[in-house]
Structure 1
Amino acid sequence: MSRTWNTGVVALGGIALAAVLTVIGHLEVNDDLNPWALTISDFAVSDRGGVIDVAMVVLALATVALLYGLRRAHPPRPRSSPTAELLLGAWVGGLLLAAVVPTNEPGTAMTTAAYLHRYASVIAFLALPVGGWLLARQDRLASAARTLRTLVLLSLVLAAAMVWSAYPGDRVLIGLAERLLILTEVAVLATVAVVQARAVDHGVVVPHERGATA
């Protein structure tokens, strides 16, 4: 069984599980919280150590599976691969740090931990689309290049909307903007995972070595 198939399917499973856990986390929290006005972090801090925090860890581990597939599936690695992998690693690190270090409770003053959480999230949100753009330039992901670029551009627009909401926009619909941003960025990961999972179906494990099979 190919490592490509393993990592792609494992990553897709992790992404799906993280999505289910996030939905459960939203359903379990206090009904007074408004998902359009509050971020996912605001929901998570109200249920510290709950399923939303677990979902963030699961999503980070799913990305680790993708990284393993990117490093092992198709030697030699493209020149842009180390940078893309480093950015995906920054996404993983940002997610894990944001899961471990909570933000402040809604309506309370920002603490040192809350600032650390915020900047970890910012690093994650910016690193993933840039990494996705670099991945779209690689031959091994050529079949999904247009999809990846479209998702990356959309995520950057949503990130700009979230920044506007957080500062001059007085946090109007910041929760909606963030959730759409996360959905788009997770779609980048899912697209890469699908390509990895399908590689075996096409008998492609090492594109530059004819005759290689799963």
Structure 2
Amino acid sequence: MPGTRTRGLLALGGIAVAAVLTLIGHLEVNDDLSPWSLTVSDFAVSDRGGVIDVAMAVLAAATAALIPVLRRLGAGRPAAALLGAWTAGLVVAALVPTNEPGAPLDAAAYLHRYASVVAFLALPLAGWLLARHRGRAAPWLRALALTSLALAAAMVWSAYPGHRVLIGLAERLLILTEVGLLAVVAASLVRRPDGAAVTPVRGASTGGRPR
């Protein structure tokens, strides 16, 4: 199995590639699409199977690289399960398209929507749990987790009572915050020497039996 630092570096590389691909995907789409009022999925469906879909798959792979080493370092089953939910949500969102902007939602679009919702909620919750084990990164993880949840609430408000006002902006800020959270987790592994034991905060559960 690759070492702790190697996993962290792989994840950071995947995050960087996903960010670049997402930027390219925004530059290549029709000029009529507004990033302020349309979601990333709306952009992706205009270029089905294009770079934004690939970016989601790369980000899922980057997360998958982190999960085994986080479990080995004692991050706990709930955090690992939430990271798995984030990963699965990204994969489903990449594979299952939503509808064109303004079209009625079909079954595939609903699956895409709820997979995205699961992913957006799972990652900040995982970040909050991981903060108990990530030492110096803990304040950043808590701040990013709370910011992500606040932005998710803003997006829900925009999607329903807000009539989608600035929903694209809210989602992009949410994605930026959550990707930042994932990058902090990966960077904390890069700084940790291979084989170093985790030192959880006093009273925190590691998800296993007390030792």
TM-score (norm 1): 0.90
Q: Structure 1 residue aligned with 2:119, among 121, 124, 131? A: 124
Q: Alpha-carbon deviation of 1:49?
A: 0.1
Aligned mates of 1:122, 1:20 — CA distance in 2: 23
Aligned mates of 2:24, 2:30 — CA distance in 1: 12
Q: How far does the alpha carbon of each residue in 1:157-213 deviate from its partner, in whole angstroms, 9 at most, with x for none?
A: 10010000000000000000000001101111100100101113xxx632269xxxx
Q: Alpha-carbon deviation of 1:137?
A: 1.2
Aligned mates of 2:132, 2:90 — CA distance in 1: 25
Matched, 1:187 2:187: no
Q: Structure 2 residue aligned with 1:207, among 179, 184, 197? A: 197
Q: Structure 2 residue aligned with 1:166, among 154, 159, 166? A: 159
1:7/1:68 contact within 8 Å kept: no
| Matching residue's letter, 1:7 | R
* Aligned residue number for residue 137 of structure 1: 132
Q: Alpha-carbon deviation of 1:2?
A: 6.5
Secondary structure of the residue aligned to 2:67 is helix
List aligned pairs for 1:63-74, cutoff 5 A: 63-72=63-72, 74=73
RMSD: 1.5
| Matching residue's letter, 1:179 | R
Aligned mates of 1:54, 1:114 — CA distance in 2: 18
Aligned mates of 2:36, 2:88 — CA distance in 1: 26
* Aligned residue number for residue 154 of structure 1: 147
| Matching residue's letter, 2:195 | V
Q: How many residues matched?
A: 199
Aligned mates of 2:198, 2:169 — CA distance in 1: 44
* Aligned residue number for residue 44 of structure 2: 44
Aligned mates of 1:68, 1:24 — CA distance in 2: 31
**Structure 1 residue runs without a partner (length 5+):** 210-214
List aligned pairs for 1:62-141, cutoff 5 A: 62-72=62-72, 74=73, 77-78=74-75, 81-138=76-133, 141=134
| Matching residue's letter, 1:196 | L
Matched, 1:21 2:21: yes
Aligned mates of 2:81, 2:152 — CA distance in 1: 21
| Matching residue's letter, 1:126 | L
Secondary structure of the residue aligned to 2:191 is helix
Secondary structure of the residue aligned to 2:97 is coil
Q: Alpha-carbon deviation of 1:107?
A: 1.1
Aligned mates of 2:2, 2:64 — CA distance in 1: 17
Moved over 4 A (4+): none
TM-score (norm 2): 0.91
**Structure 2 residue runs without a partner (length 5+):** 200-211
